[in-house]
Amino acid sequence: MRSNLRFVSVAAVAAVLAAVPGSAQKTTGPKERYEMDVATMSGFAAMAGGGRGGLGGAMGMMFGGDPSSKVAHQLLLRLGSNDAATAPPPKGDHFFLPQAKMGKSVPLTTIEGKDEPGTTPFERPKGRLLLYWGCGAKAGPGQPVVIDFAKVAAGQMPPNLFSSAVPVIREVSKANSRSYVDWPNNKGGKQPGSGSSLLGAHRVASNIGPDINFTLAQDYMQGLSASTAIQGDQSVMVRWNSVPNATGYVAWTIGGMGNGGGKNDMGDIVWWTSSASKEFGGGLWDWLPPSVVANLITKKIVMPPTQTSCQIPAEVKKASGEMLIGNLNAFGPEANFSYPPKPAGNAAWNIDWTAKVRFRSHTMLMVGADFGGMSGSNMGGSTPAEPAKKKKCKGPLGIPLPDGAC
């Protein structure tokens, strides 16, 4: 009798769950996916990606310029479809309102190319990577973790070096799309200038899918203004302004004594991150959804939006020599759109297209260099960014670094 009652109870619960609206809703698509990455860059990041260019901007700083007040905006647009172009090659346009100051539209295209095989012979690298993490005057226990490049090249990786705590968000790309177009490209790449705004209606038209229409209520994020100050104990205090709509912050620096022998001998490279745990990978240097950031804050991998300072341990400064270069990243909101709207109940939802707009703000950190007062900054006007580079910046072990860090 008991087993019969148990069976009846389980069956009854299953029936109730099946009757819950939406629990059995079937979803198909989307056939077309659009992504719009929106960045605000300030300080050295604005100069590296901004109007005067990295080297020219740096030279200007050395001779009394003050790029710390500059803010640059950057857009990265990607459109992928499950369908072939109606009239090849794939192409499209993103139409803006006048306040965007992007002209009537920007062209979405694809560049067909092939990778040339490398001809450079492999030579085993020499040098070490020293990993530090966490905010505080002194480095925590177990630091630094030392990675010998020669041993890594030989296949000897330190245990528990990388974790899956920080996800890498899957983006629209050629690899996951039958048809793909993006911007900037060889047909255009001038980034938005001073006083531009993304608020209002946007339309994307292409020959690889239906028109995409959405309205943005979120504009570019405010610029980050960061300052660094070496303390009496040789730790480095980093302070920044609270950015409205920021969901969290993360910082990192890289330095070195320059004690390598040249060629493949890199000497000691010092890498520090503000994470309270040994987290150096994933999407920490990129865009992350608010839900992911909130989860990482609970794990103390990302600093909360209420935090506006972090101390770089003295051991990091000592091991890094005269200068540290780094980045402070403010994660921002995300806007998502889809068509047609999700039907009520458990009726099938056949999605034609989705659009995602991701926001962030970031600035570069310079410790130990005095380029025209760059150690402290005040946000001012806006400078248009140069066309975004397709090639990702690479750091130690080939790990991608933020735009403007190379």
Query: What pLDDT shows up at residue 35?
Result: 99
Residue range(s) defining the domain that contains residue 150:
29-110+123-169+177-401
Distance CA 48, CA 364 (A): 9
Average confidence (pLDDT) over 68-76: 84
153 within domain boundaries: yes
**What pLDDT score was predicted for residue 156?**
67
* pLDDT (average), residues 73-85: 97
Residue 55 confidence (pLDDT): 37
Average pLDDT, the chain: 81
pLDDT digits (tens, 9 = 90+) for 320-363: 988 889 999 999 999 999 999 999 989 999 999 999 999 999 99
Note the pLDDT of residue 247: 99
> Is residue 13 assigned to a domain?
no
Gap between the Cα atoms of 402 and 224, Å rounded: 15
Q: Which two tokens stand for residue 312?
A: 């770089």
Q: Which of 180, 184, 161, 160 is nearest to 171 (CA)?
A: 180
More confident residue, 313 or 266: 313
Q: 5: pLDDT confidence band, cut at 50, 70 and 90?
A: very low
**Can you give the pLDDT at residue 66?**
47
Range in 14-28, 90-104, 145-159, 268-282 with the lowest mean pLDDT: 14-28
Segment 41-61, tens digit of pLDDT = 998 777 665 443 333 444 343
296-300, 325-329, 369-373: which range is least confident on average?
Answer: 369-373
Give the per-residue pLDDT at 393: 55
Closest CA to 227 of 377, 373, 329: 377
Write the pLDDT tens digit of every residue in 206-233: 999 999 999 999 999 999 999 999 999 9
The neighbouring-strand residues paired with 227 are 239
In a domain, 118, yes or no: no
Is the Cβ–Cβ distance between 94 and 187 less than 8 Å? no
Q: pLDDT value at position 377?
A: 44
Residue 34 pLDDT grade (very low, low, confident, very high; cuts 50, 70, 90): very high
- The structural domain count of the chain equals 1
Whether residue 115 is contained in a domain is answered as no
The pLDDT assigned to 158 comes to 66
pLDDT, one tens digit per residue, over 146-192 is 988 877 766 666 666 666 788 889 999 999 999 999 999 999 899 99
Strand 92-95: give its sheet, edge to edge: 105-108, 92-95, 200-206, 212-216
Of residues 153 and 235, more confidence is placed in 235
Q: What is the pTM of this model?
A: 0.81
Whether the predicted pLDDT of 124 surpasses 50? yes
Structural domain includes residue 9: no
Residue 131 lies in a domain: yes
DSSP classification of residue 252: E
Tell whether 221 is covered by a domain. Answer: yes
Which pLDDT score, from 0 to 100, does residue 152 have?
75
pLDDT above 70: percentage of residues in the chain: 71
In a domain, 18, yes or no: no
Residue by residue, what is the 3-state secondary structure of 198-224?
CCEEEEEEECCCCCEEEEECCCCCCCC
